Amino acid sequence: MKRLITVAAAQLGPIQKAEGRDVVVARMVRLLEQAHRKGAHVVVFPELAFTTFFPRWYVEDLDEADGWYEQTLPSPATQPLFDAIRRYGLTCYLGYAEIAHEPDENGVLRKRRFNTSVVIAPSGEIVLKYRKIHLPGHKEFSTLRKVQHLEKRYFEVGNLGFPVVRAPVGPVDGVNLGMLICNDRRWPEAWRELGLQQVELTMLGYNTPAVNQENRGFEAHHLRNFHSQLSIQAGCYQNATFGVGVAKAGNEDGFELMGHSIIVNPQGEIMAMATSWDDELVVADCNLAMCELGRTTIFNFAQHRRLEAYQRLASQTGSSAPAVWQPGQGEV
């Protein structure tokens, strides 16, 4: 039996540092209108969708950067987005910078900052929240870099795990929805945590610099997009899920972000791809029944996974050097 939904990737073009939320929210509302006209049931926006990719800008005191974050969702500035979601009856993935006043791991109430995404229901209700776990980059100003990548400064590591929820989407009663954010897509651990919860639609937004500054002559520039798509395609195939990877793309104040947002099926095939560096909406009809094939055959986890052989995965953070073998030593 088919379980068909139409999925939209709502890529955003660049947002300059000086631009306000009003401009961005108006652009996002236009993308929701397009999604409605194209018959979409679910729309995926990028990571940190309301602002420029601000972790490239250093601030000494984080409180000076509060303007990049949302203290409530919706706020007066973002309310038009929620109104449009309700008007068109869409399910929505939205990435934003979150300030939360909540207890830390020591139980002390603090102002905390996360790189966050939510699933919003057609009613405008927030269904599920995820906070980015694999924060790339660094915490202190780097004199070695031409562009900073201060995610480890601006955000704490997410503390909500990798949640999945089954919620209605369009005509389908229940779809298993999961979220990742940007760099998470490169980590098979993140995909597998979702796969172990039978995710069927994995939504993720990203802001990815078009050039790897640290390539040391080993990484051709064109590989940036290959690596992104390779990771998403492998994650989808190996966990039998549809995936939607959505960029903020183009030139922000002289710094280029890659585009090529994609919708991928559980076979790892790219079904649709954005090809501009601008606001662009691409859609694909996704039959969620496809997820069953992998889940019940080659990736039937219950039949094939072998926990006793995976003990390093969840007990050893960094890598360690292997034993050294010398000629004449015999079998290790």
Question: Which residues are annotated as catalytic?
Answer: 47, 132, 182
Exposed, middle or buried by CB within 10 Å (0-12, 13-18, 19+), for 203?
A: buried
Q: Closer to its own copies by CB, 19 or 299: give it.
A: 299
Query: Are the C-beta atoms of residues 97 and 154 closer than 8 Å to each other?
Result: yes
Considering only the stretches 22-30, 33-41, 217-225, 249-257, report the one whose residues sit in contact with its own copies under the rule CB under 8 A: 217-225
Nearest approach, Cβ of residue 287 and its own copies (Å): 9
Instruction: For the segment 115-154, give every residue that binds its own copies (CB under 8 A).
Output: 121, 123, 125-129, 133-136
**According to the binding rule CB under 8 A, does residue 227 interact with its own copies?**
yes
Give min distance, CB of 324 to its own copies, in A: 5
Nearer to its own copies (CB atom), residue 16 or residue 296? 296
Q: Is 297 in the site for its own copies (CB under 8 A)?
A: yes
Amino acid at 117: S
- CB of 16 vs its own copies, minimal distance in Å: 27
**Rounded least distance, CB 18 to its own copies, Å:** 30
CB 57 within 8 A of CB 48: no
Indicate whether 328 belongs to the interface with its own copies (CB under 8 A).
Answer: yes
Instruction: Establish if 170 lies at the interface with its own copies (CB under 8 A).
Output: no
Question: Which of 4, 62, 210, 230 touches its own copies by CB under 8 A?
Answer: 230
Instruction: Return the residue of 197, 225, 276, 278 that touches its own copies, per CB under 8 A.
Output: 197
Residues 67-126 touching its own copies, rule: CB under 8 A, are 121, 123, 125-126
Tell me the two tokens of residue 199: 């995710």
Shorter beta-carbon distance to its own copies: residue 215 or 251: 215
- Tally Cβ neighbours within 10 Å of residue 88: 18
Q: Which amino acid is at 134?
A: H
Cβ proximity to its own copies, 51 vs 114, nearer residue: 114
DSSP secondary structure of 182-213: GGGGG-HHHHHHHHTTT-SEEEEEE--BSS-T
CB of 280 to its own copies, least distance (A): 26
Instruction: Quickly count: other Cβ atoms within 10 Å of residue 176's Cβ.
Output: 19
Residue 2 near its own copies by CB under 8 A: no
Give the shortest CB-103-to-its own copies separation in angstroms: 17
Instruction: Please list every residue from 233 through 292 that binds its own copies, using CB under 8 A.
Output: 233-234, 237-238, 266-269, 290
- Residues 224/249, Cβ–Cβ less than 8 Å: no
Q: Which of 158, 195, 156, 157 is CA-nearest to residue 178? A: 195
